[in-house]
Structure 1
Amino acid sequence: MLPYLPLKVSFADMGGIESIRKTVTAQMEEGFKAGIFKAPDLTGIIKERVQIPTRDGASLGGVVYRPESGVKGPLLVFYHGGGFVSGFPETFEPEAELLTKELGVTVLGVAYRVAPENIFPTAVNDAVDSLKWQPLGADPSKGFIVAGSSAGGNLAAGAARNSIDSNLSPPLTGVFLNVPLLVHPTAVPEKFKPHYNSEEEFKDGMILDRRGMQDSSLIVADAYQWDPTSKEASPLLWPKGSKPHPPTYIQVCGADPLRDDGLIYESILREEGVPTRLDVYPGLPHGSLNFMPMLSQSKKALVDVKDGVQWILNQKA
């Protein structure tokens, strides 16, 4: 058993929201002590804390990574995972280091408000509002990408669709979704049900299982209090619009209950004529890029993030 993260674990076993937050943080700390997680080398990168205004007068924390050179590059806005109840923007720091150093991207990680203190649709609104705030060091005309992982992928997909409908200016030029949650299991449209099997197939999966997703009162089902049939909660249900959707890059783990969320969503976008890129990592459970960085597929996925973002930027060129 790994010292920092049991390979068989459910959020439902952690004993409550505060326990989940403390447990995840403690496991990350153990990983750093054991040398499994390594702090990114931010040499040549300016990292700064920022505050992002919201529609209801609140202020969201955020962290910006931008090139020390001062050259303004593309902007990528990222929403972290954590089941809508935990998480922090620094989970994307290895990717931010790579994107900032090698592609000149300015990365904004958003600390959106989480449940149960803030229920649906607060996090959705925070995601939409944060796209309207521009950090120093970015030039969205060179590229403007919204990104997210897991629950954050849910927010990124919804914010992207909202930005299209609301004519966000400057417009998004790309979307990056890592192991995204895109539809509640009870709201899967009939025509997709034959292809929606991973939630059942990996109901007892590593890291994320069915109890942690819905049977437990700890996570999405009760804490977030979402409406499964709402397009803001389940972006896969968003009706096709008359305006073009930005090119989209999706990463999917093969042993993830959310595997089919990403696969179905990619097929929907492709049928709409949206340029898509899809990477699948066979045998990897949910969240392995963050929690199991020593695996060869996790290392590949990190490099693929850079290649996927470069692909999005090339679509604009």
Structure 2
Amino acid sequence: MKDATTMAETGTHNSGTSVASQLIRELELNGPFPDPRTDTDHESLVSIYPELAAVPTADIDIPSPEGGVPGRLYRAPGEALAGLVWVHGGAFIAGGLDMPEAHWVSLYLASHGVSVLSLDYRKALHGVRYPAPSNDVLAGWKWALENLDVLGLGTAEDLHLGGASAGAALTAALTGRLRDGAGQMPASLLLAYPLVHARLPPLSADLVGKMAGVPDDLAFGPDFIRDINLNFAGSEENFRDPHAFAGEGGLEGFPPVYIINSEADTLRASGELFAAQLEAAGVRVRMDMEPGSMHGHLDHPHTAPARHSVERMRAWLRARTAAPADRQLPSL
């Protein structure tokens, strides 16, 4: 993201153009930004983490009333002790199944006994708005429930839901939709550095101090957050819709929730407030902060914070899984 110093303070370029609007315009004109890294492709990940090579994967197209939803299956080699439907982030406008936050996280979890369905979704570009991305995730969730055997699961009680950043926003809000009648609830909800409020909550004094050393392109100010969320929601009226932003409504009846916040990340304010809201609603919630991390740290698989967080995720999922039974794994 460009000209982010101004973004962090006001959300605008010097010309007065919203940074979010400029970013959206660039993506609509030119498509996704290429990842300049040369060590996060599949072959590089396997060379560094050889255990990932044992994970069978398959790209699928999930049918939905609004068109196909791209997904990728990662089956645990052996007994699947849990299953996870996982959704990547990208400010609702970017990201995909190949980014490490999606691909590496899914490979790692599958290599440790957690089968994963990683989902893509329609981006809020070219007029796409809420609820389209949410509907895509709902279609993927329902597909997973209907195809537990493909994930090596014997019961839906072992199927969890989660996501990172914008993916966390989508899955948290979808959990509210499920609670309100859209389908079966997940065993638990797993959120990495989530933004679940329409507007960025106030930053604590500690967080303000932590942000002092953060690169400008990761210092997401309140105006930028508002503009990105408005682009997704389509209207400020939808800012009040808890099926778009889970933190804007009641949370009673949610399953257990695990939140992993990045340490130096303005979105940490949303994760912290959400944890407090969940606790007040009587929901079992655990919140951890990953030391030394900035927003999106799961997208950096060769760093200690990413490795530590994905291990936290594995432990959470395994601890909330029924005792494994004899489960036959169909061919992908």
* TM bracket, shorter-chain basis: 0.7 to 0.9
Q: From 121, 124, 134, give the equivalent of 1:115.
A: 124
Among 40, 47, 53, the alignment partner of 1:43 is: 53
CA–CA distance in 1 between the matches of 2:80 and 2:291? Answer: 37
Structure 2 Cα separation of the partners of residues 205 and 151 of structure 1: 20
Q: Which residue of structure 2 lines up, in the alignment, with residue 311 of structure 1?
A: 319
**Is residue 46–residue 53 contact of structure 2 (8 Å, CA) maintained in 1?**
no
Matches within 5 A, 1:25-104: 25-29=34-38, 41=50, 42-56=52-66, 58-69=67-78, 71=79, 73-90=81-98, 91=100, 92-103=102-113
Q: Kindly state the Cα deviation for residue 208 of structure 1 after the two structures are TM-superposed.
A: 2.7
Deviations 1:165-189 (A, max 9, x none): 21623x4111100001110227x6x
Residues 133 and 39 (structure 1 numbering): CA distance in 2 closer, same or farther, change over 3 Å? farther
- Given that 1:51 and 1:60 are in contact with CA atoms closer than 8 Å, whether structure 2 keeps it comes out as yes
Change (3 A) 1:75 1:280: same
Say if 1:137 and 1:314 are closer, same or farther in 2 by CA, change over 3 A: closer
The answer to whether the Cα contact below 8 Å between 1:74 and 1:141 also exists between their aligned partners in 2 is no
For residues 172-226 of structure 1, the C-alpha deviation after alignment (integer angstroms, 9 at most, x for no partner) is 111100001110227x6xxxx5869959984994343336962796x44436635
8 Å Cα contact 1:78/1:107 also seen in 2: yes
Whole-Å separation in 2 of the counterparts to 1:263 and 1:129: 29
Q: Which residue of 1 aligns with 2:196?
A: 182
Q: Distance in 1 between matches of 2:250 and 2:240?
A: 12
Q: Give the equivalent residue in structure 2 for 1:165.
A: 180
- Contact 1:63/1:89 (<8 A) preserved: yes
2:273 is the counterpart of 1:264: yes
Q: Which amino acid aligns with 1:299?
A: R
- Which residue in the other structure is 1:235 paired with? 246
Unaligned runs of 5+ in 1: none
Cα 1:88/1:199, change in 2 over 3 Å:
farther
One-letter amino acid matched to 1:121:
P
Letter in 1 for 2:314: K
State the AA in 2 paired with 1:259. Answer: R
Q: 1:294, CA displacement in angstroms?
A: 3.7
Distance 2:189 2:226 in 1: 31
Question: Which amino acid in structure 2 is aligned with residue 272 of structure 1?
Answer: A
Question: C-alpha deviations, 1:213-253, integer Å up to 9, x for none?
Answer: 62796x44436635322212221012244xx3211111001
Whole-angstrom CA distance in 2 between matches of 1:155 and 1:246: 16
Q: Matched residues in 2 for 1:160 and 1:72: separation? A: 23
1:66 to 1:179, Cα distance in 2 relative to 1, 3 A? same
Distance, in Å, in 2 between the alignment partners of 1:162 and 1:216 is 23
Whether the 8 Å contact between 2:77 and 2:110 is mirrored in structure 1 is no
- Matched residue type, 1:238: G
Q: How much does 1:297 deviate?
A: 2.5
Hey, what's the Cα distance between the residues in 2 that align with 1:81 and 1:211?
18
Q: Partner residue of 1:149?
A: 164
Alignment partner of 1:131: what SS? helix
Alignment partner, residue 224 of structure 2: 214
The CA deviation string for residues 72-92 of structure 1, in whole angstroms up to 9 with x for no partner, is 543210111011111112332
Equivalent in the alignment of 1:106: 115
- Residue 31 to residue 68, structure 1, CA distance change in 2 (3 Å): closer
For residues 58-78 of structure 1, the C-alpha deviation after alignment (integer angstroms, 9 at most, x for no partner) is: 111100001344x45432101
Mapped to 2, the partners of 1:72 and 1:299 lie a distance apart of 21
| Structure 1 Cα separation of the partners of residues 30 and 124 of structure 2 | 12
In the aligned structure 2, how far is the partner of 1:274 from the partner of 1:260? 19
For residue 293 of structure 2, give the secondary structure of its aligned residue in structure 1.
coil
- Tell me the amino acid that sits aligned with residue 237 of structure 1: E
Residues 210 and 263, structure 2, Cα contact 8 Å, conserved in 1: no
TM-score relative to the length of structure 2 = 0.75
1:95/1:305 contact within 8 Å kept: no
Structure 1 pair 196–38 and aligned structure 2 pair: CA distance change class (3 A): farther
* Preserved contact between residue 213 and residue 220 of structure 1 (Cα < 8 Å): no
Query: What TM-score comes out, normalization by structure 1 length?
Result: 0.78
Asked whether the equivalents of residues 89 and 111 of structure 1 are also in contact (C-alpha less than 8 Å), the reply is: yes
Contact preservation (8 Å) 1:249, 1:312: no
1:296 to 304, 307, 310: 304
CA–CA separation in structure 1 for the residues paired with 2:81 and 2:234:
38
Contact in 2 for aligned 1:78/1:148 (Cα 8 Å): yes
User: Percent identity, aligned pairs only?
Assistant: 20
Q: Distance in 2 between matches of 1:215 and 1:240?
A: 22
In terms of mean alpha carbon deviation, does 306-315 or 116-125 score higher? 306-315
